[in-house]
Amino acid sequence: MRYLLCVVLYLLSAAAMAAPAQQGKAYMTVIIDDLGQNVARDSRTLALPGPVTLAIMPDTPHSSEFARQAHKAGKTVILHMPMDPATGPYAWHPGAPVPELAARLDAALAKVPYAAGINNHMGSRMTSQPEPMAWLMNELQRRHLFFVDSRTSAATVAAAKAQAIGLAHVSRDVFLDDVRTPEAIAGQLQQGVELARKQGSAVLIGHPYPQTLDVLEREMPRLKRQGIELITIGQMIGERSNQAMPAHGSHGLYRNR
């Protein structure tokens, strides 16, 4: 009897210790920016395992063709919208009148069919501008598109403006490849893993560099064994419910409101 009691107590203790890990959630979303420039890299990105979000630039040779290909493959396509200090025919710049911003957004969306939302390409100057960011979020709401704040600057107000009107959005947590070596990229991916475990979710942004794709091809199939579930950007938006993560604000509200 004593032996049986010890076994029962041991099993209950083991179950209690395992419960937090079983009940805990660790979701990750991966976005690859700057697509549409190179067919080989685009194709390799499209073949990555899991629900990778594909951010396609409008001013690239293969933007429309690749957007259609990605949509047909069941991937989420978003417009990678150029913003100052980015340049080019679609780029947004501080001081531009709203009709000009609207015309450039229309033209960019026409180049990237099936876009379900947008994120900013560069934009460290533009995303700090309250009035155009507020206009953009209202426009995306009207179009039923979501927004991903790439957070290329700590001064961004983009996500705060999205949150203020209840626009579906998320903010980036980790850049994978600011340092373009396999070791650094693997380290950033691991940082994303640890952050997902800590706060329940992590949004990672990378680029179609050969080194980044090498790491993701090798490591993404192993994420499940680390307790990480890869989810779509739409699922991540639902998971976060428009709330700011601790690095972006406090009590669920973004800084720079």
pTM beyond 0.75, yes or no: yes
Per-residue model confidence (pLDDT) at position 257: 73
Average pLDDT estimate for 73-78: 98
What is the pLDDT at residue 4?
38
Confidence of residue 24 (pLDDT cuts 50, 70, 90): confident
Architecture of the domain made up of 26-243:
Alpha-Beta Barrel (3.20)
For 204-231, what is the mean pLDDT? 98
d(CA 44, CA 42): 5
3-state SS of the chain is CHHHHHHHHHHHHHHHHHHHHHHCCCEEEEEEEEECCCHHHHHHHHCCCCCCEEEECCCCCCHHHHHHHHHHCCCCEEEEEEECCCCCCCCECCCCCHHHHHHHHHHHHHHCCCEEEEEEEECCCHHHCHHHHHHHHHHHHHHCCEEEECCCCCCCCHHHHHHHHCCCEEECCEECCCCCCHHHHHHHHHHHHHHHHHHCEEEEEECCCHHHHHHHHHHHHHCHHHCCEECCHHHHHHHHCCCCCCCCEECCEECCC
Residue 256 binned pLDDT confidence (cut-offs 50, 70, 90): confident
pLDDT at res. 47: 98
Does 11 or 224 have the greater pLDDT score? Answer: 224
Q: 226 falls in which pLDDT band (50, 70, 90)?
A: very high
Q: Read off the pLDDT of residues 107-163 as tens digits, 9 standing for 90 and up.
A: 999 999 999 999 999 999 999 999 999 999 999 999 999 999 999 999 999 999 999
Residue % of the chain over a pLDDT of 90: 90
Average pLDDT, the chain: 92
Q: Is the pLDDT of residue 2 over 50?
A: no
Please write the tens of the pLDDT for every residue from 245-254: 999 999 999 9
Q: Please give the share of the chain, as a percent, with pLDDT higher than 70.
A: 91
For residue range 81-97, list pLDDT tens digits in order: 999 999 999 999 999 99
The answer on pLDDT for 42 being more than 90 is yes
- pLDDT higher than 50, residue 177: yes
Residue 94, preceding bond cis, omega within 30 degrees?
no
Whether the pLDDT of residue 23 is over 80: the answer is no
